[in-house]
Amino acid sequence: MADLLVLAVVIFGLNLMPAFAPPTWMVISWVGSSLPEANPALLALAAACAATTGRLVLAQMAFALVRQRWMREDDRRNIDAVAQWLERRKSMTVGFMLAYALGPFPSNYLFIAYGLAGMRLWMIGLPFFAGRIISYLVWTHIAQVGSRYLDTEVGLHGAYFSLYFILSQLFLLAALYLFTRVDWVCLLHERRLRWRRSRKLSSPP
């Protein structure tokens, strides 16, 4: 039980980080290889609950701290066009998040984008939880089986600080910035890509 609590706290903290956090599947793999006799379903359930909660809090922080306090009103209206477009396509939004969560892909920028758009978080929270619990169960099982047959240690630091990881995080941060700079009204209604001019963030009230 103590191991599950520590795992949940660590993963919750990692999923609160907006960028440069080690992937949760890497932590799950390390835990699975370190605890080969643990119940993989319980490990996956604890990790999925913590990861989903952390991401939802991250999205809410993006909404409360960035959208509500720092974004200009016209920037909010621009992103609202995306939110309205996705709200009319709930099945597509839920299906995309479920499929995305099944893979080992970073999700921080998606939740930040959804938070900035002010969307209802259940639309991404529920499918994210379902996808993550399945993927974490697979990673845990693979790690536990591997630990019984392979005399290897899973090191987090090498992959975490690899050039690929750093470049991918920088790319995702750039993509998130471009998300706020696209003229979504023009793109969704006129099918034309147009960039909005950068403006200074408004001062908090």
Per the model's pLDDT, the better-predicted residue between 156 and 137 turns out to be: 137
Instruction: Please determine, for residue 187, whether its predicted confidence score (pLDDT) is greater than 50.
Output: yes
Domain segments of the chain: what residues? 2-190
- Give the pLDDT confidence of 88-138 residue by residue, as tens digits: 888 998 999 999 999 888 889 999 998 988 888 888 999 999 999 999 999
pTM for the full model?
0.81
What single string gives the DSSP state of each residue in 90-159?
HHHHHHHHHHHHTTT---HHHHHHHHHHT--THHHHHHHHHHHHHHHHHHHHHHHHHHHH------HHHH
> How far is it, in rounded angstroms, from Cα 51 to Cα 157?
20
